Structure 1
């Protein structure tokens, strides 16, 4: 975040420099207020650009085998342009390449999910995905793994049949079998 602040200030100074150059070229016929207007527009423009390119930049940094499974787009009043084009401020990526299939019950897959949020550190959470039941659960000591054919306990959360996590993981399992 510190480097982003430095870059924002630099963008403002650069835009102010362009305004000074325009004033010099026009022999100071442009008003003085154009300098702070250009500086503010430069800083605002840089911030808008960095917020809209954050997701694609972060996605490009993900290693091979880590896939984006969900994104969250947001709009807010202090960013009125986001109502026209919502910004991706959070996303979840799954380490599909290193997901491991349970040796006793091949319908269970352990996967690490990575939670990314703008201006925050990434977090990792291990999840168990049940391909047959179409559900997921946090991998904890309290997790009750059902036997084949048993109903799921309360720690499990149903996933939509077209959920990207379920689709990617269960497709990998089928390919490994």
Structure 2
């Protein structure tokens, strides 16, 4: 985030420089307010471009085997352009390559989900996916396979991308 702030300041300096160049070409006939206006627009434009390119950039850096299973697009009143074109601010990726099928019950698959959010560190959350019951549950250090039915299962739609990605590999 620090480097993003530095880049934003330099975008503002660049915008102000363009306005100063325009004033020089016009022999100072262009209005003075052009300089702060160009600086502000350059900084705003840089931030908007960064917001919209974040998801594609993060997705391109994912290692092979991580599959995006959900994206979350957001709109906000302080970003009025997001009502026209919502921004992807969060997404979830499943580590399909390193998922493991249960040896006793092959319908159960252990998979790591990675939660990515703009300006936050990624979080890893291990999950157990039941490919037959179309459900998932949290896998913790204190997880006891003999108490599997006591776990809180979250239902998934049968066409859920997590089921599709994990259960196709398991099957």
**2:99 aligned partner:** 99
For 1:145 and 1:57, the matched residues in 2 are separated by 42
Equivalent residues in 2 for 1:58-77, closer than 5 Å: 58-77=58-77
Structure 1 residue 68 displacement after superposition: 0.4
**2:166 aligned partner:** 169
**2:25 aligned partner:** 25
Q: Cα distance 1:12–1:100, how it changes in 2: closer, same or farther (>3 A)?
A: same
Contact 1:75 1:87 in 2 (8 A): yes
2:98 is paired with a residue whose SS is: coil
- Per-residue CA shift, 1:91-128, capped at 9, x if unaligned? 00000000010111100000000000000011000000
1:114 is paired with a residue whose SS is: strand
**1:156 aligned partner:** 153
**1:79 aligned partner:** 79
Q: Which runs of 5+ in 1 are unaligned?
A: none
Q: What's the TM-score, normalizing by structure 1?
A: 0.92
Contact 2:137 2:151 in 1 (8 A): no
Q: What's the TM-score, normalizing by structure 2?
A: 0.96
**1:130 aligned partner:** 130
Aligned length: 170
Q: Cα distance 1:143–1:71, how it changes in 2: closer, same or farther (>3 A)?
A: farther
Contact 1:127 1:136 in 2 (8 A): yes
Aligned-pair RMSD on alpha carbons? 1.3
For 1:59 and 1:71, the matched residues in 2 are separated by 11
Q: Which moved more, 1:56-65 or 1:135-144?
A: 135-144
Contact 2:130 2:136 in 1 (8 A): yes
Structure 1 residue 153 displacement after superposition: 3.9
